[in-house]
Structure 1
Amino acid sequence: MPPVALHRLHDETLDLENLSAYNLYLTAGAAGLRVGVADVRRNKFVALEDYAAPDGAMPLAGQVQALAAEHELVGRTGWNRVLLAVQNRHFTLLPASLFRPGDEATYLRLHHATDPQRESVHHYTHTGLEISSVFAAERGLAEWFRATYPEGRLVHHTSTLLEGVAHQNEQGNARRIYLSIGHQEVTLVAMRDKQPEFCNVFPFSTPEDLIYYTILVMQELQLNPDQDLVTVWGDLMHDSELFTILRKYIRNIRFGNRPYDLSYSYRLNDVFEYRYFELYALHLC
């Protein structure tokens, strides 16, 4: 059973006969699959698609294969670049100067017990931020991606979030907190002068869990919920319980924008600007 389409937004300029002029971006996680296409020359997103995970525990590999079997974009080759971001809590960050290729499993073992039958370990180095990300991905998904797009790049969703936040047009060196809310998990990032100081993913099942982790991180970083700015992206609405409780306990809170320095088709105006940030930010990786 293929994933269920929630959004399929295409600009009329998207030319399916000239895929080399575009980058293909994919994200895969508990909420399902997301697809983005960016025009390389115009530095512009011209397509966005969102697919909910089908009922049942279908692996991500099965979802993406079912989608590719009948899709006009996913599974096709000839793109300029292809990147896939996996969304999970199984990652760690370390200074790039300390990273040694081949030791990925050792680094990750401190934070996550990898199951070699179901998972494979990967890495991505942020050259501008001078940090390396080591993460686990569903083995079947990684194997499908490697076979379909040998030159493609696999990253963790925290890497796209870090790159996107670092490219935000914000002045000053004050520490800032950023939240990205996904399916029953929230990624919290603290940045100072465009350099990451904290990044972690927390599970939550209630709005109270969400505000607990947010306030806990702010307190650990000596930030004041009554004064310091918190920026939010992700899968929530202005009138949702999640945003209501955030606004109740954090006075200076706002929804984030799409990544700067990129253009977006008017077709994408059908969705809120604070959604799909990690998908857009793949363009910055």
Structure 2
Amino acid sequence: MIQQKIKIKKNSLDVKHLENNHLSIQFSLGGFSFCVLDRENNTFIALNDYDFVEPNNSPQRLIANISSIFGNDELLKQHYNSVSVTHINDLFTLVPKPLFNEDRLQDYVSFNTKVYPQDYLVFDELKNMDIVSVFIPFVNINNFLIDQFSHFEYKHNSTVLIENLLAIYKYSLVPKVFAHMANGHFELIVIANKKLQFYNTFKFSTKEDFIYYVLFTAEQLKLNPEKFEFLFLGSIEKTDDIFAMAYKYIRNVSLLENRSKYSFDEAFSETDKRTYYSILNQY
């Protein structure tokens, strides 16, 4: 079953004339979202987010859900100047560029997940970094999107988060630890000494699971919870139990502030900008 989680739209938006705008799409086994950027004014003017209530445990169910959304959402029936796509899954690994060999993609990902001979692997070279993200995309969804838009660029969610956070916080004087919260999982990113020190995805079900992964990672990296700055982004509020748990064990905890290079229509709240950080910074 599909549930629309949020619908944001500029009041005066003419949905029939979006051909000069950019469309960003993001999806995982648990949901699908997209946003529209007015390229002329560098302003986000629409965002829709859908949850898949039943887990998509097969490519067929995932494509059925996304196809249904395209059949019913008016914004997805329009023509756009450009389209970009983000795949969210844990079928990836990060490789130092000096060690990267394009002929060994399957070997890299097999360290973290089961890889089958028929799996199609691709990679992103992260901007201004000696890092390559190797991943298995949802090929059936890419094929579906080709039928809809003819051409689009796609990347892994790890690329979006690392590039954007490092671009802003690379020269921070204190280590920064980021938790990008989603439904049932979170990405943990550590930036210190002008470099990415750590990136991984963790599945969790309780606040105790969450803080264990955070503190264990900090211990392995020899980071002092009294000194590093911990920032939440994604689906999180100060009133959430997860925030309170982090604050119990870490001295400096806060919500990520919006530092986007783009503007936002007044329909977007500060919470929206933080919740949908990855898709709003995809393009």
Please, what TM-score do these two structures have when normalized by structure 2?
0.89
Q: Which moved more, 1:241-250 or 1:67-76?
A: 67-76
Work out which of the residue numbers 51, 58, 73 in structure 2 matches 1:71: 73
Runs ≥4 in structure 1, deviation > 4 angstroms? none
Change (3 A) 1:56 1:162: closer
Aligned partner of 1:282 in structure 2 is: 282
Q: Which moved more, 1:34-43 or 1:164-173?
A: 164-173
Contact preservation (8 Å) 1:165, 1:194:
no
Aligned partner of 1:200 in structure 2 is: 200
The structural deviation recorded for 1:180 is 0.4
Change (3 A) 1:86 1:127: same
3-state SS in 2 of match to 1:19: coil
The structural deviation recorded for 1:94 is 1.6
Please, what TM-score do these two structures have when normalized by structure 1?
0.88
3-state SS in 2 of match to 1:179: strand
Indicate yes or no: 2:181 matched with 1:181: yes
Change (3 A) 1:250 1:115: same
Q: What is the root-mean-square deviation in Å for CA atoms of aligned residues?
A: 2.3
Aligned partner of 2:83 in structure 1 is: 82
Q: What is the aligned length?
A: 280
Task: Give % identity.
Answer: 22
> In structure 2, how many angstroms separate the alpha carbons of the residues matched to 1:75 and 1:257?
33
3-state SS in 1 of match to 2:163: helix
Instruction: Give deviations 1:211-270, integer Å, cap 9, x for gaps.
Output: 000011111111111221011112223222211211111110100123422111110127
3-state SS in 1 of match to 2:219: helix
Aligned partner of 1:142 in structure 2 is: 142
> In structure 1, how many angstroms separate the alpha carbons of the residues matched to 2:44 and 2:194?
24
> In structure 2, how many angstroms separate the alpha carbons of the residues matched to 1:102 and 1:231?
37
Aligned partner of 2:260 in structure 1 is: 260
Q: Which moved more, 1:225-234 or 1:9-18?
A: 9-18
3-state SS in 1 of match to 2:269: helix
3-state SS in 2 of match to 1:123: strand
For structure 2, the 5+ residue unaligned runs are: none
Aligned partner of 1:121 in structure 2 is: 121
Change (3 A) 1:270 1:188: closer
Change (3 A) 1:146 1:104: farther
3-state SS in 1 of match to 2:281: helix
The structural deviation recorded for 1:47 is 0.9
Change (3 A) 1:98 1:171: closer
Aligned partner of 1:191 in structure 2 is: 191
Aligned partner of 1:51 in structure 2 is: 50
> In structure 2, how many angstroms separate the alpha carbons of the residues matched to 1:156 and 1:15?
31
Q: Which moved more, 1:178-187 or 1:8-17?
A: 8-17
Aligned partner of 1:109 in structure 2 is: 110
The structural deviation recorded for 1:102 is 4.8
> In structure 2, how many angstroms separate the alpha carbons of the residues matched to 1:91 and 1:56?
20
3-state SS in 2 of match to 1:219: helix
3-state SS in 2 of match to 1:282: coil
Aligned partner of 1:42 in structure 2 is: 41
Q: Which moved more, 1:95-104 or 1:254-263?
A: 95-104
Instruction: Give deviations 1:44-77, integer Å, cap 9, x for gaps.
Output: 111111111133546332221110011222254x
Q: Which moved more, 1:64-73 or 1:271-280?
A: 271-280
Partner amino acid, structure 2, of 1:204: F
Contact preservation (8 Å) 1:181, 1:235:
yes
> In structure 2, how many angstroms separate the alpha carbons of the residues matched to 1:279 and 1:21?
19
Instruction: Give deviations 1:97-119, integer Å, cap 9, x for gaps.
Output: 444445422321222212466x5
> In structure 1, how many angstroms separate the alpha carbons of the residues matched to 2:185 and 2:157?
12
> In structure 2, how many angstroms separate the alpha carbons of the residues matched to 1:33 and 1:129?
29
Alignment of 1:13-28 (within 5 A): 13-28=12-27
The structural deviation recorded for 1:22 is 1.3
Change (3 A) 1:62 1:42: same
3-state SS in 2 of match to 1:188: strand
> In structure 1, how many angstroms separate the alpha carbons of the residues matched to 2:194 and 2:279?
20
Contact preservation (8 Å) 1:123, 1:132:
yes
> In structure 2, how many angstroms separate the alpha carbons of the residues matched to 1:19 and 1:262?
18
